[in-house]
Structure 1
Amino acid sequence: MVSRRAPIIAAVATAAMLALGTAVVPLLPATAVSTVAPADDTGSTTPQSAAAPQATPVAANGQLRVCGVRLCNQQGTQIQLRGMSTHGTQWYSQCVTNASLDTLANDWGADVVRISTYVQEGGYETNPQRFTALVNEYIDKLTARGVYAIVDWHMLDPGDPNFNLQRAKTFFTAIAQRNNGNNNIIYEVANEPNGVSWQTIKGYHEQIIPVIRAQDPDAVILLGTRAWSSLGVSDGANESEVVNNPVNASNVMYTFHFYAASHGQEYLDALSRAADRIPVFITEFGTQNYAGEGANDFNMSQRYLNLAASKKISWVNWNFSDDHRSGAVLTEGSCASGSFGTGNLKEAGRWIRDQIRAGA
Structure 2
Amino acid sequence: MNHGLSLIYLALLSSFISIVFTKDALYEPVSKHGQLSVSGNQLVNENGEAVQLKGMSLAWSIWWPQFYNEPTVDGIKNGCHSNVVRAPLAIETNDGGYLTDPEGQKKLIVDVIEAAIKHDLYVIVDWHEEKAETHQAQAIQFFDEISKTYGSYPNIIYETFNEPTSQSWSTTLKPYHEAVIKAIRANDPDNLIIVGTPTWSQSVDQAAADPITDQTNIMYSLHFYAGTHKQWLRDTAQSALDSGIGIFVTEYGTVNADATAPIDLEESKLWWEWLDKNNLSYVNYDVTDKDEGASVLIPGTTAENVCKEEYLTEAGKLAVEQNKK
Check whether TM > 0.5: yes
- What is the CA–CA distance in structure 1 between the aligned matches of 2:248 and 2:307, rounded to whole Å? 27
Give the number of aligned pairs.
Answer: 302
- Would the alpha carbon gap of residues 339 and 195 (structure 1) be closer, same or farther in structure 2, given more than 3 Å must change? closer
Describe how 1:164-203 pairs up with structure 2 within 5 A. Answer: 164-199=135-170, 200-203=172-175
Q: Say yes or no: does 1:245 pair with 2:210.
A: yes
Aligned to 2:231: 265
Once the two structures are TM-superposed, the CA of residue 99 in structure 1 deviates from its matched residue by 2.7
Q: Which residue of 2 aligns with 1:10?
A: none
Higher relative contact order (CA 8 A, sep 6+): 1
Q: Confirm or deny that 1:205 pairs with 2:172.
A: no
**1:134 corresponds to which of 108, 112, 132:** 108
Superposed CA deviations along residues 156-207 of structure 1, whole A, max 9, x for unmatched, are: 2xx3x31010110111011111112211100000000112111111111111
2:274 aligned with 1:307, yes or no?
A: yes
Which residue identity does 2:248 align to in structure 1? F
Say which of 101, 109, 116 aligns to 2:88. 116
Q: Distance in 1 between matches of 2:23 and 2:273?
A: 20
Give the letter aligned to residue 342 of structure 1. E
Moved over 3 A (4+): 20-27, 336-340
Higher helix share: 2
1:106 Cα shift?
1.6
Query: SS at the partner of 1:71?
Result: strand
Matches within 5 A, 1:100-115: 100-115=72-87
Of 61, 67, 71, which aligns to 1:99? 71
1:350 and 2:317 correspond: yes
Say which SS state the counterpart of residue 333 (structure 1) adopts. coil
Structure 2 residue ranges without an equivalent (≥5): 1-18
Task: Give TM-score, length-normalised by structure 1.
Answer: 0.80
Q: Deviations over 1:196-233 (max 9, x none)?
A: 1111111111111100000111111001001110016x
Larger radius of gyration: 2
1:336 Cα offset (Å) = 6.8
Per-residue deviation at 1:125? 0.9
Alignment partner of 1:281 is 2:255? no
Q: For residues 214 and 338 of structure 1, do their structure 2 counterparts lie closer, same or farther at Cα, with a shift above 3 Å needed?
A: same
Deviates more, 1:331-340 or 1:105-114: 331-340
Counterpart secondary structure, 1:203: helix
- Computed over aligned residues only, the root mean square deviation of the Cα atoms, in angstroms, reads 1.8
TM-score, normalised to structure 2, is 0.88
Long gaps (5+) in structure 1: 1-19, 28-54, 233-238
For residue 129 of structure 1, report the CA deviation from its aligned partner: 1.3
The sequence identity of aligned pairs, in percent, is 34
How far, CA to CA, are the matches of 1:268 and 1:244 in structure 2? Answer: 17
* 1:215 equivalent in structure 2: 187
